[in-house]
Amino acid sequence: MPKEFLILETTVDNCTAEVQVNGVPFRLLTELSTLDSRPIHQYLTPGPNKFTLVVHPGPTPGSAMTEQPEPFVPKAPASATMRLMSMPQGAFPEDPGVRELFKQAWNGTAGKPVKAPVLVEHSMEIPGYGHRWEWLEGASFDSAASFQAVIELIRECRDGFSRGDPEPFLARAEVRFRVMSLAYGLDVNSEMARVRADIKALSTEPGFQMETIDAQSADLRVCGGGKLMDCVDRSWEPLLRSTKKPNGLIRARYPAKVARVGGTLQIVL
C-alpha cells in the first residue's frame, strides 16, 4: 500500500463537468453530485500526464467533447475545479501533511454565454508514479465488429452476475486486478475473493437483478488514445449494473473499460 496517495478532487457549482486523466473519463459531476475525491494511480503513466476538465460536456458520453450548437449560459455564477493532492494514508485535504500539486479552475458569469464544452487542461510529470500499463500496447478500437464484441463481453459478465456467478467477470478482468495491484499494492487473490463474496451476497438479496444490456441505449466510448472502450449507456451509467430498487437506488455498479491485451478483450479499468 502506498504511503502517499495521489487524490484528484473535482468540484462543480451550477454546472456539469467531467474530468479525464490521460484521455480516460474519470468522473462526471452534476448539480446533484458536486464533489468527488479519489485516487488516480491506475490512470497514470511515466512522463507527462494530462488532466482535462470538460465543463458542460455534450448530452451523452459519446458527444462529451463535441462542440455544441448552442452556448452554455449559466443561470447563476458557476464554477468547476480540479486539484491534485499528495496525501498520506488516512489524511484529509485540510491536514498539514497534504501537498497540492496543482489546481485548475473555471468560472462562469450568470447570463454570459460560453462556447461549450469548455476545456481546462493541465499537464505534469509525477516522479515515482505511473506504469507503462500492458493495455497501452494493444490495438486501437476502430470497427463495428469490435464494438459488438465488447457488448458481448459485458453481456457475458452480466449473465454471470445474474445467476450469482462472478467467474466470467473475474476471467475477463484479470488485467484490471493486475493494474490495481501495481497501482496500490493490493493482493490480487484477496481482491478477487472480495468480488466473489460481494456477488454471492448481492445475488441472495430479495429483488436483486442485473440491468439488461441494451445495444440501442449503449454509448460505448473510445478513449485513452483509442486503446480503451468505456462501457456506459447514454445516461452515463455503467452498462454492468443492477436494476434500481423501489426507492430508486442502484445496489451495485461495475464500471468497465475494455482493451485488447494479448489479442483478447479484457476489462482493464
DSSP 94-138: TSTT-EEEEEEEEEE-TT--B-SSEEEEEEEE-TT-----GGGGS
Check whether residue 16 and residue 113 sit in a common domain: yes
Q: What is the CATH number of the domain that holds 255?
A: 3.10.450
Mean pLDDT of 67-85: 96
Q: Note whether 38 and 146 are same-domain residues.
A: no
Closest by CA position to 27, among listed 80, 100, 98, 105: 80
Same domain, 122 and 143: no
Last residue of a domain, one of 100, 130, 160: 130
Q: Are residues 33 and 117 in the same domain?
A: yes
Same domain membership, residue 122 and residue 160: no
| 88 and 141 fall within a common domain | no
For residue 233 the three cell numbers come to 449507456
Confidence of residue 248 (pLDDT cuts 50, 70, 90): confident
Q: Which three cell numbers stand for residue 226?
A: 483509442
Count of domains for the chain:
2
What is the model's pLDDT at position 113?
Answer: 97
Given 102, 130, 158, the domain boundary residue is 130
Question: Do 227 and 196 touch, CB atoms closer than 8 A?
Answer: no
- The pLDDT value given to residue 146: 87
The per-residue pLDDT for 1 is: 67
Range of the domain at 95: 4-130
Based on the domain organization, do 118 and 145 belong to the same domain?
no
What is the spatial distance between Cα 260 and Cα 267, in angstroms, rounded to a whole number? Answer: 9
Q: What's the whole-number mean pLDDT along residues 84-91?
A: 88
Same domain (yes/no): 210, 245:
yes
Domain shared by 148 and 125, yes or no? no
Q: Which residues contact 149 (CB under 8 A, 6 or more apart)?
A: 265
- Pick the last residue of a domain from 90, 111, 130: 130
Q: Which of 25, 190, 17, 208 has the alpha carbon at shortest distance from 104?
A: 17
Same domain for 245 and 157, yes or no, is: yes
Same domain, 90 and 202: no
15-46: per-residue pLDDT in tens?
999 999 999 999 999 988 889 999 999 999 99
